[in-house]
Chain A
């Protein structure tokens, strides 16, 4: 990765979209298919509005998400990454989400070490019926990323 400072000048034109003064972050969401992806579907079915910044990627279990995938998202320029799985104890694969629960704090430390705010990485649990919760979590996380501003890695590869 090149020096962070390189990016700072160039990002503003794409990040702050035309006609809008608000920073519109790009957030990659890793959602497990059984609970949080289904929960996001439920949010849709019950028309719970949330900001459009999150781009969901479906995986079978949140335990599938390795630090590589998260780092890849930040490397590409994601302003935030949200990992969502089943509530602890409700994993469709018994304990895949426990692996996630252990893994994410480690990745957060790694982000701090790299000079990225660990707040850019979120971990949450949403069940298939919690459409309301999914929308609320995304609203909150998007706001959090907005406050942090654009990722210093935007445009650096």
Chain B
């Protein structure tokens, strides 16, 4: 006979507000083998845990059911708790009375009835649980950081400084990310390049960091502590060892193409560096455009002749690199909403309607216009500039119900920069409202209005159209309640922050969840904001949600600490809930071997009989093998068939008793 203790949590009013705790306690006392039942306002609190420990000792409990929130939330908490009271941590089962009951049902009677059933099922399972001992595995103390923007750079540097090896993978030819495209940063007006480029250099020279640019992750196998990753390093067509970065090749290339880095405002060559301060400074040949690849091997080759270091290599092939990593930091950043979706704003149609990032490139001294703000249509200086906020953001019709968080601030910054560059100009800003939560943010927006004369108009823009060489911006001032029309020379659209378009593909490779907008999901929105649900994979920066630079840096540091925490011990305790084959019962059909996604099952001979055997270091405990085993020879620890059967049967026991029908044996 087991001695089960049931601990019912009020969770303040979260559970007790909907579930009648007294009735639940009464019902729990009547369940077989339950010897102790108690309730607690907050079972997860220190006092709640103390009372569990006390009860284990006083009532000599050997199994515990905590009826509170989701096990995904507090299973670890309560396992630790009962372990410290001397029980095996795996002799715990949780009944989810909050997420699966009180929060989703309103009727008190129905919720209470369901709570009782859930506890009954948990007790049924806990009675059949067996003690488990975690498997210990060595940790590969090398981290993989995906994405070389400010978040990835910060995470890589932090992990390296703690003394661990890092591989930083960036898919573009340079690290730096969006921050490298910016001119100044709000609210301090720090020069973006001045605070970023030293960090980029630091990454390049850090002995612990292996930098793989123009590279992408293709495949991830394995698990926390031992990820096996395949990275494709795309052919740069330039030998990275020989190249001195002199740039002679770029000078000589005859092709002029629109620059992606400058968002079409400037030109680049077919052999190029995205921007002069790129890290590494080795150029790359665009094989889709270069004459050697489009017209024939003997064509052009001007760069090859110009190169004093003999570094150009048209024959170079992609390199496939395989490495083992103990942890992965995902810092793949964001993309921008395409303003073409707003036909009424003329995005992509009128040359003088540009995106905020295009404005940023224009105002940047290292940008295509050398820092001069001009009308792209005729190169003249604009006088009236209209900034339109929330282009995409907070617009359900465009599929982006969320706030992009940074647009209010960068628009204010751009209005300020406009005035500094062109003192005669006037900025008009259309906004729904101003969101300036952050240190010195509100003060900054106020300054832009009072000192730099930016005029804020509360209301959405309905239409933008051309009249002569001017743009007419039509909207409504919702505070004054009047229609407004502004004659503008230049219109800047604050386009929404969107996830990377291929984030679902990456999520599949990494096996991490993502939300409906393509942002990667954190393990817990409040308490585990930089961890993905998958152990050993962490999130930094805007790949998780729109973030400004300080937030990106902060999450990168937090993710780095989580990585270091993993690497601080030589061994990692792995979940012991894995499959085990009973060789006596195994018929040797080897169906399990076919279905195992991890190749964890192999054939073995026992007394010249063919049987299956599970490798415990590879098995991840999905249980697919157990489900196909005809002779039920595979035990899926923690989820054995007898455990599941009794859990299934529990809710029907009362009914069957009432009908006086005998319970079938499990």
Which residues of A come within 8 Å of B, CB atoms?
10-11, 14, 26, 28, 33-35, 37-38, 40-41, 43-45, 47-52, 55-61, 63-66, 68-69, 72-73, 75-78, 89-96, 99, 103, 127-130, 135, 154-157
Contact = CB atoms under 8 A, between A and B. Distances in A.
Contacts of B100: 40-41, 44, 56
B626 A64 contact: yes
Interface residues of B, number: 64
B155 interface: no
Contacts of B628: 66, 99
A73 B597 CA distance: 27
A50 B72 CA distance: 21
A63 B100 CA distance: 22
Interface in B615-641: 620-624, 626-629, 632, 636, 639, 641
B636 A52 contact: no
A98 to B, nearest CB: 9
Interface of B: 70-73, 96, 98-101, 103-107, 110-111, 113-114, 117-118, 121, 507-508, 511, 513-516, 521, 533-534, 577, 595, 597-598, 620-624, 626-629, 632, 636, 639, 641, 644-645, 647-649, 651-652, 655-656, 658-659, 661-664, 666
A95 B513 CA distance: 15
Contacts, number: 168
25 contacts: A26-B651, A38-B533, A47-B103, A52-B113, A52-B114, A55-B114, A55-B121, A56-B96, A57-B644, A63-B624, A66-B628, A66-B641, A69-B648, A76-B664, A90-B508, A91-B597, A92-B511, A92-B622, A93-B622, A96-B624, A99-B595, A99-B624, A99-B627, A99-B628, A157-B664
A110 B117 CA distance: 28
B123 to A, nearest CB: 14
Q: Across the A-B interface, give the 5 residue pairs with the lowest CB-CB distance, nearest first.
A: A44-B99, A64-B623, A63-B624, A93-B622, A66-B627
Contact of B627 (A63, A77, A130): A63
B648 A128 contact: no
Given A37-B72, A41-B72, A73 B648 contact: yes
Contacts of A129: 513-516, 521
Contact of B101 (A35, A52, A68): A52
Contacts of B118: 55
Given A37-B72, A63-B624, A72 B649 contact: yes
Given A44-B103, A50-B105, A77-B655, 18 more contacts: A38-B513, A41-B73, A47-B103, A50-B104, A52-B104, A57-B647, A59-B644, A61-B623, A64-B622, A64-B623, A64-B624, A66-B628, A66-B641, A72-B645, A127-B513, A129-B516, A135-B104, A155-B656
A94 B627 contact: no
A94 B312 CA distance: 41
Contacts of B644: 57, 59, 69, 72
Contact of A155 (B98, B110, B624, B659): B659
Contacts of B662: 157
B25 to A, nearest CB: 19
B104 A69 contact: no
A92 to B, nearest CB: 6
Contacts of A34: 513, 533
Nearest to A24: B110
Nearest to A76: B652
Nearest to A90: B508
A52 B508 CA distance: 33
B655 A52 contact: no
A61 B513 contact: no
Contacts of B595: 63, 99
Nearest to B624: A63
Contacts of B648: 28, 57, 69, 72-73, 76, 78
Contacts of B70: 37, 41, 44
Contacts of A56: 96, 100
A38 to B, nearest CB: 6
B597 A94 contact: yes
Contacts of B110: 52
B641 A69 contact: yes
Nearest to A73: B648
Nearest to A34: B533
A64 B659 contact: no
A64 B639 contact: yes
B659 A10 contact: yes
A48 B72 contact: no
B657 to A, nearest CB: 10
Given A52-B114, A135-B104, A96 B597 contact: yes
A60 B597 CA distance: 14
A50 B113 CA distance: 15
B622 A63 contact: yes
A40 B97 CA distance: 12
B652 A128 contact: no
B597 A35 contact: no
A68 B650 CA distance: 16
B111 to A, nearest CB: 6
Contacts of A157: 656, 661-664
B659 A14 contact: yes
Nearest to A19: B109
A128 B533 contact: yes
B627 A103 contact: yes
B189 to A, nearest CB: 37
A38 B664 CA distance: 32
Contact of A68 (B103, B104, B641, B651): B641
Contact of A52 (B99, B111, B627): B111
Contacts of A47: 103-104
Nearest to A69: B644
Nearest to B632: A68
B136 to A, nearest CB: 20
A57 B453 CA distance: 62
A64 B72 contact: no
Nearest to B94: A58
Contacts of B533: 34, 38, 128
A47 B98 CA distance: 10
Contacts of B651: 26, 28, 55
Contacts of A33: 72
A60 B623 contact: yes
Contacts of A103: 627
Contact of A75 (B515, B622, B627, B664): B664
B117 A55 contact: yes
Contacts of B664: 75-76, 157
